[in-house]
Amino acid sequence: MKLSVLDLVPVRSRQSSAEALAASLDLARAADELGYERYWVAEHHNMPSVASTNPAVIIGIIAAHTERIRVGSGGVMLPNHAPLVVAEQFALLEAATPGRIDLGLGRAPGSDPVVTAVLNQSGATSDVNSFPNYVSDIATLLSDEGATVRLTSGTEYQLRATPAATSAPDIWLLGSSDYSATLAASLGLPYVFAHHFAGAGAERALEIYRSQFRASHLLEAPRTFVTANVVVAPTASEAYALALPYLQHMARLRTNEPLGRLATVEEAAATTMTALQDEIIAASLGSWIIDEPVAAARRVRELAARFDVDEVMVSPGASAYDAEPADRAPGRVRTLHLLAEQFGDDTSALAHELSAHAAE
């Protein structure tokens, strides 16, 4: 059973972007030291509560400050970028930290229509219908042979993401629908279903992926895992208090309320939500794992068994208390520590020091 981490680099009240990045870097180091398999960062734009706007840049920072954990994107939203640019960025990341880079690709723009238009002012396409070709283009550009482009004159032009690659990043296809599962299967790529925000269609999507999978030069057999929102604390009630700011934030998003930065635990406890928002929060609890360590680990194992996977990527949705340092995320670090302890990964004195630090 492998555990991994998905991070949106959340920005909470009275926290700067620099402090949010420092907190995520602290979380990544903890994941590395605790034995987590991979650490992925998302791509979102123009959101007050999310600092993860450019996965390639953040991946470079995290990879440079960790030792063994795989680092990647969850994901790069391909409609916002030219395939060659993505291939060049991740070829360089792979060259800097060989064998540790994952390139997760998504089809959604990860932003509103205005931001999408601004992102595409340089001429990059936002046509999601071209997504299958762009995924194939990136895989080809990252290969040793590169791509052959036929010019209008009829001559051929050789194109590579990097001149002399000795390895390439692993390419993963991300999705939350039958479409993405079908595409991943047809291209012979690893596939991740975004269960942390779209759990309803997971069974069907994974069945489609496995049954329709066609082996490729990149992958011989289906390879997949699922994501989950997880908050772990010494007691279930404390875990819920830490998760409440995120739950309220998602309820505001789904009721089209203006979004600010993520609330602290105390701010969330003092907030009154609408009846509809309370209903949304209550419904969300069924898909989140919010519990004390033993029960949380059991539920992670049950999730893995339900989808027949040997890896779960957790999105640690714990906010922070008012008094906690702005450049750290003790609740998120503690979630990783307590969960790893239940899976037998906590064997070092350093891990105990992290737990003690998180409890301060």
Q: What is the pLDDT of residues 57-104, one digit of tens each?
A: 999 999 999 999 999 999 999 988 999 999 999 999 999 999 999 999
At 253 the pLDDT is: 92
At 126 the pLDDT is: 53
At 110 the pLDDT is: 62
- 131/220: higher pLDDT: 220
Tokens of 185: 């299967």
For CA atoms 140, 141, 147, 151, give the dihedral sign. positive
What does the pLDDT look like over 222-281, one tens digit per residue? Answer: 999 999 999 999 999 999 999 999 999 999 999 999 999 999 999 999 999 999 999 999
At 119 the pLDDT is: 76
How many structural domains are present in the chain? 1
CA distance 331 to 268: 15
Residue 246 · residue 332 · CB < 8 Å: no
- Which pLDDT band, with edges at 50, 70 and 90, does 148 fall under? confident
CA distance 103 to 77: 11
Name the pTM for this structure: 0.91
* Nearby residues of 224 by Cβ (< 8 Å), 6 or more positions away: 190, 191, 192, 193, 206, 209, 210, 307, 309
At 77 the pLDDT is: 92
At 122 the pLDDT is: 57
What does the pLDDT look like over 3-51, one tens digit per residue? Answer: 999 999 999 999 999 999 999 999 999 999 999 999 999 999 999 999 9
Give a three-class secondary structure readout of 12-40.
ECCCCHHHHHHHHHHHHHHHHHHCCCEEE
At 111 the pLDDT is: 67
What does the pLDDT look like over 327-339, one tens digit per residue? Answer: 999 999 999 999 9
Structural domain harbouring 166: 2-359
Question: Parallel, antiparallel, or unpaired: how do β-strands 2-7 and 38-41 relate?
Answer: parallel
What does the pLDDT look like over 278-316, one tens digit per residue? Answer: 999 999 998 899 999 999 999 999 999 999 999 999 999
CA distance 223 to 270: 44
What does the pLDDT look like over 99-140, one tens digit per residue? Answer: 999 999 998 776 677 777 777 765 555 566 788 999 999 999
For CA atoms 39, 147, 80, 251, give the dihedral sign. negative
DSSP state string for 211-231: HH----SS-SS--EEEEEEEE
CATH of the domain at 72: 3.20.20.30
At 198 the pLDDT is: 63
- Which pLDDT band, with edges at 50, 70 and 90, does 355 fall under? very low
CA distance 132 to 123: 19
